[in-house]
């Protein structure tokens, strides 16, 4: 098999999930770092089936989407498996992975872009170790149109982000429940573990969110599977939006 290429955006949580899954499988790959929005054009020209990150070129196949990638990796290299062999357990992992993609991943993305809208300087910290073809300082200085596009593409309204933060404690309860029930946090880690751990890894790069996450089983799972998520955003979100996360009990 020629060396697969994984297309990522620095700081992308589903891309981090794909990276960790490839590493977990022991599949050597090339990483190509792209800037948001620019990524859409590149993936289109390369005839991927979608325009989002992560996308993976492997074994002559072009795959777009973190969940499509987890499935394909198990077909291409079954060991160690990303999905349990037992059909009932597999459904539980698929459900948790889907929730991690559709609910948690989108919520964390909206929260991050809302924070970046308020202070763009931390963008640079997400570029650590990335090769984007332009100096990192220049990328941040010229990021305004990219930020505006991401706010639009991802429906990042203040109302949506306030609602995401209100829902966040319930999301953490759900993840802790899955860990307690053995759907997440087992050995070997499954596709839902990687999907959810990567989203929480990105969430914990925000100083506003980390204290509410890191000590919980969910936060520990993330730190174990994605210990080095680059990026750091100092406190920037309105204090009243964070009350659901800081309220005792």
Ligand X SMILES: N[C@@H](CCC(=O)N[C@@H](CS)C(=O)NCC(=O)O)C(=O)O
Does residue 193 interact with ligand X by CB under 6 A?
no
Note whether 82 and 74 are within 8 A (CB). yes
CA 125 to chain CA centroid, Å, is 16
CA distance 225 to 221: 6
Q: Between 90 and 109, how does the x/- string for binding to ligand X read (CB under 6 A)? A: -----------x---x---x
Toward ligand X, which CB reaches closer, 101 or 249?
101
φ, ψ (nearest 5 deg) of residue 150: -65, -35
Three-class HEC string of 172-217: HHHHHHHHHHCCCCCCCCCHHHHHHHHHHHHHCCECCCHHHHCCCH
Does residue 151 interact with ligand X by CB under 6 A?
no
In the list 37, 42, 160, 236, the residue contacting ligand X (rule: CB under 6 A) is 37
Least distance (Å) between residue 180 CB and ligand X: 25
Assign 242 to helix, strand or coil.
Answer: helix
Q: Which stretch binds ligand X (CB under 6 A): 10-18, 22-30, 86-94, 124-132?
A: 10-18
Q: Between 201 and 240, how does the x/- string for binding to ligand X read (CB under 6 A)? A: ----------------------------------------
Q: Which of residues 51-70 bind ligand X (CB under 6 A)?
A: 52-54, 65-66
CA distance 176 to 217: 6
In the list 36, 107, 201, 219, the residue contacting ligand X (rule: CB under 6 A) is 36
Beta bridge partners of 206: 233
Least distance (Å) between residue 223 CB and ligand X: 20
CA distance 192 to 183: 9
The residue count for binding ligand X (CB under 6 A) is 17
* Closest to 66 in 3D by CA, of 52, 80, 83: 52
In the list 153, 160, 163, 167, the residue contacting ligand X (rule: CB under 6 A) is 153
What residues line the site for ligand X (CB under 6 A)?
Answer: 9, 12-14, 36-37, 39-40, 52-54, 65-66, 101, 105, 109, 153
């Amino acid at each position: 098999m020629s060396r697969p290429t994984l297309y990522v955006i620095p700081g992308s949580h589903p891309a981090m999930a794909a990276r960790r899954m490839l590493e977990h499988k022991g599949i050597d790959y090339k990483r190509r770092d792209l800037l948001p929005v620019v990524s859409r054009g590149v993936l289109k020209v390369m005839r991927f089936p979608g325009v989002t990150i992560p996308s993976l070129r492997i074994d002559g196949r072009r795959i777009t989407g973190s969940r499509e990638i987890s499935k394909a990796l198990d077909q291409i290299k079954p060991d160690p498996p990303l999905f349990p062999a037992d059909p009932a357990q597999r459904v539980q992992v698929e459900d948790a992975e889907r929730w991690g993609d559709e609910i948690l991943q989108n919520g964390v993305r909206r929260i991050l872009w809302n924070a970046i809208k308020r202070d763009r300087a931390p963008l640079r910290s997400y570029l650590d170790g990335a090769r984007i073809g332009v100096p990192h300082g220049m990328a941040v200085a010229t990021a305004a149109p990219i930020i505006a596009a991401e706010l639009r593409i991802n429906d990042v309204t203040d109302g949506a982000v306030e609602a995401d933060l209100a829902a966040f404690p319930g999301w953490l309860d759900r993840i802790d429940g899955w860990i307690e029930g053995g759907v997440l946090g087992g050995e070997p880690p499954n596709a839902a573990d990687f999907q959810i751990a990567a989203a929480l890894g990105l969430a914990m790069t925000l100083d506003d969110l980390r204290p509410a996450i890191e000590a919980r089983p969910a936060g520990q799972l993330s730190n174990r599977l994605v210990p080095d998520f680059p990026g750091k955003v100092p406190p920037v979100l309105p204090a009243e939006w964070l009350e659901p996360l800081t309220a005792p009990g």
